[in-house]
């Protein structure tokens, strides 16, 4: 057992990290859940993607020809292969000199060609999750730090609550504080493997991406020009002149793919990257973790488009255990292995982690109120911010889904206005009474709105082939579960509100 002084220090570290970085940790978890969930939302939003589900996948050459028929494809591009959750290729390239980088979802079999990350501001949430909308090195560094902080929270919490290992399956029913404390400890203990996996893999990935450009800035002697060049987004870089070609799909492309398949019959193509007259072919052997083009024992080979000659093949396992572990970080962190079940399990575990953070913050506030001998329901600034944050978790997904269904796009101004209104509603003390009344009305309305999302989708696209598509069923089921939960919360609060006046009247009668 730890000594009392060591335990007190660990508790102080645990509490300090929670109070200072609770929103950073909470948003890293929430946006990560949204990133997992985006693969389900795309076919739910787009009838063409739902129609493509279950159809035979086209070849890479067919997908490339479909893009070239509509756009001026250059000599440099990348194509990500379909995955168990994505029945389409992802093409990334520039259409013309000086053009911005464009990412497209491509499936010519279902006539799908739409911008990638266009649904539900997917790119916005992914950027929040990866770099907090800051310049890439600094944002990735902060998110890497967030991953390390999650590991520290888990580690200090485990040492502080040492008995939880023995009492992991017991439960005390004594008071609100004890019930919440037991639930926090138990769920926190059961989630240790997932939290360590997410925290460590996310922290390592973020710090690794940030370390390379930051190191280059230091090596450049702090030159502002070098710093701007290194910190600028890849999409803003101009295309070199003379990159447009007429023969987009040369014969060497098929030769390279056939040669790679013949040499590695137990592998599937994960990614293709063309650089002038060379093609990088990346394959993922069966039986290893799969990620869309990267990770866990991937094979990479350079091939000549002139004659289809395959050069030296590099296997990530050649780097020993270090190479294997590093290549496994992305598929493990982004759930790019398995299928629908894996993604759903990650989403559920992410939500449980969010609840663990939420319950931990409530415990800090309840204990602080007990120590300071003030009402437990008194709202401090940190509590107001966290309540506003939780309200946004309910409101923003609904606004995003409804906005994209009705208009096919996301209106950032509406999202910003709604977010600002929610934050002000919880931060301003003189709005407390109005907020309580508004919550009683808003919860049933939100429940009805979530329940109506599947009906809205069916009304807008009645002829779409939705039935039998796993992703559509998952989103519909999620919307209905949220609606049922919100309705139950609204009913419980209404019941508690009606019980309190009855108790007050009974107390008055007894006193009389």
Q: Is 83 helix (H, G, I), strand (E, B) or coil?
A: strand
What token pair was written down for 362?
């409530």
Model's pTM, two decimal places?
0.77
User: Tens place of pLDDT for every residue, the chain, 512 residues?
Assistant: 556 666 666 666 666 666 667 777 788 788 888 877 888 888 888 888 888 877 788 888 889 989 988 888 888 899 988 887 788 899 998 887 778 888 899 998 888 888 886 666 556 667 777 777 777 777 778 878 878 887 877 777 766 665 656 665 666 666 666 777 777 777 777 888 888 888 888 888 777 776 666 555 555 555 545 445 444 444 333 334 434 444 567 788 888 999 998 988 888 888 899 988 899 988 888 777 655 444 555 788 899 988 888 888 888 767 666 666 767 777 888 887 777 888 888 889 988 888 888 888 888 777 777 777 777 677 777 788 888 888 998 898 898 888 888 887 777 788 889 989 999 999 888 888 888 888 889 999 999 999 999 999 999 888 877 777 888 999 999 999 999 999 999 888 888 766 545 545 545 554 54
Q: Is 297 helix (H, G, I), strand (E, B) or coil?
A: coil
Backbone angles phi, psi at 128, to 5 degrees: -65, -40
pLDDT of 450: 96
Start and end residues for every CATH 3.10.450 domain found in the chain:
250-337
pLDDT digit string (tens) for 452-498? 999 999 998 888 777 778 889 999 999 999 999 999 998 888 887 66
Q: Count of alpha carbons within 13 Å of 262, Cβ hemisphere only?
A: 9
| CATH class, range 250-337 | alpha beta
Single out the residue of 365, 427, 357 nearest to residue 18, CA to CA.
357
What token pair was written down for 148?
């390390």
What token pair was written down for 378?
């008194």
Query: What DSSP string runs through 299-342?
Result: EEEEEETTT--EEEEEEGGGGHHHHHHHHHHHHHHHT-SS-HHH
Using the structure block, give the residue that is written with the tokens 């795309």.
42
Q: What whole-number distance in Å separates Cα of residue 491 and Cα of residue 296?
A: 48
Q: Count of alpha carbons within 13 Å of 360, Cβ hemisphere only?
A: 29
Please list, residue by residue across 303-319, b when 16 or more beta carbons sit within 10 angstroms of its beta carbon and e when fewer do.
Answer: bebeebebeeeebbbee
Order of all β-strands in the sheet with 299-304: 112-115, 101-107, 89-94, 76-80, 267-275, 278-285, 299-304, 310-315
Q: What is the end-to-end Cα distance of the chain in Å, rounded?
A: 55
Q: CB within 8 A of 451, min separation 6: which ones?
A: 479, 480, 483
Q: What whole-number distance in Å separates Cα of residue 343 and Cα of residue 33?
A: 9
Q: CB within 8 A of 375, min separation 6: which ones?
A: 369
Please list, residue by residue across 357-389, b when 16 or more beta carbons sit within 10 angstroms of its beta carbon and e when fewer do.
Answer: bbbbbbbbbbebbeeeeeeeeebeebbbbbbbb
Q: What whole-number distance in Å separates Cα of residue 507 and Cα of residue 512?
A: 9
Find out whether 337 and 296 touch, Cβ atoms under 8 Å: yes
Strands (E) across 400-447 are located at none
Using the structure block, give the residue that is written with the tokens 């203990």.
189
Q: What whole-number distance in Å separates Cα of residue 290 and Cα of residue 268?
A: 10
pLDDT of 466: 79
CA distances from 76 to 82, 93, 220, 242, 428 (A): 20, 7, 28, 11, 53
């Amino acid at each position: 057992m730890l000594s009392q002084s060591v335990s007190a220090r660990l508790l102080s570290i645990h509490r300090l990290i929670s109070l200072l970085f609770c929103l950073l940790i909470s948003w890293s978890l929430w946006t990560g859940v949204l990133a997992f969930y985006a693969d389900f939302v795309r076919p739910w939003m787009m009838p063409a993607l739902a129609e493509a589900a279950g159809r035979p996948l086209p070849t890479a050459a067919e997908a490339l020809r479909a893009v070239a028929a509509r756009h001026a494809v250059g000599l440099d591009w990348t194509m990500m292969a379909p995955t168990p959750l994505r029945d389409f290729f992802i093409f990334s390239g520039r259409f013309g000199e000086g053009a911005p980088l464009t990412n497209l979802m491509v499936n010519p079999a279902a006539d799908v060609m739409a911008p990638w990350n266009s649904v539900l501001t997917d790119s916005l949430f992914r950027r929040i999750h990866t770099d907090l909308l800051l310049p890439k090195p600094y944002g990735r560094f902060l998110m890497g730090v967030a991953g390390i902080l999650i590991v520290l929270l888990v580690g200090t919490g485990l040492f502080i609550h040492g008995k939880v290992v023995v009492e992991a399956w017991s439960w005390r029913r004594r008071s609100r504080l004890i019930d919440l404390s037991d639930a926090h400890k138990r769920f926190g203990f059961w989630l240790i493997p997932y939290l360590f996996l997410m925290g460590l893999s996310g922290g390592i990935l973020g710090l690794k991406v940030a370390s390379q450009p930051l190191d280059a800035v230091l090596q450049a002697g702090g030159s502002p020009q070098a710093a701007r060049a290194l910190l600028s987004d890849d999409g803003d870089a101009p295309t070199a002149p003379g990159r447009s070609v007429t023969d987009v799909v040369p014969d060497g492309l098929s030769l390279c793919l056939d040669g790679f398949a013949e040499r590695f019959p137990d592998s599937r193509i994960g990614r293709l990257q063309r650089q002038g007259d060379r093609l990088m072919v990346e394959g993922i052997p069966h039986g290893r973790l799969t990620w869309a083009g990267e990770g866990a024992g991937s094979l990479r080979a350079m091939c000549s488009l002139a004659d289809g000659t395959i050069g030296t093949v590099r296997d990530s396992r050649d780097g020993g255990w270090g190479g294997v572990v590093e290549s496994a970080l992305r598929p493990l962190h982004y759930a790019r292995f398995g299928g629908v079940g894996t993604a759903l399990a990650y989403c559920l575990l992410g939500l449980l982690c969010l609840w663990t953070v939420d319950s931990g913050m409530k415990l800090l506030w309840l204990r602080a109120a007990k120590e300071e001998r003030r009402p437990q329901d008194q709202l401090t600034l940190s509590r107001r911010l966290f309540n506003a944050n939780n309200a946004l978790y309910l409101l923003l997904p609904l606004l995003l889904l409804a906005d994209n269904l009705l208009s096919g796009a996301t209106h950032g101004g509406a999202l910003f206005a709604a977010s600002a209104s929610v934050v002000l509603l919880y931060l301003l003390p003189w709005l407390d009474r109005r907020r309580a009344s508004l919550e009683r009305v808003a919860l049933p309305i939100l429940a009805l709105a979530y329940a109506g999302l599947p009906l809205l989708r069916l009304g807008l696209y009645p002829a779409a082939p939705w039935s039998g598509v796993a992703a559509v069923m998952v989103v519909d089921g999620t919307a209905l579960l949220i609606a049922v939960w919100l309705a139950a919360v609204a009913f419980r609060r209404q019941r508690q509100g009606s019980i309190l006046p009855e108790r007050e009247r009974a107390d008055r009668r007894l006193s009389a």
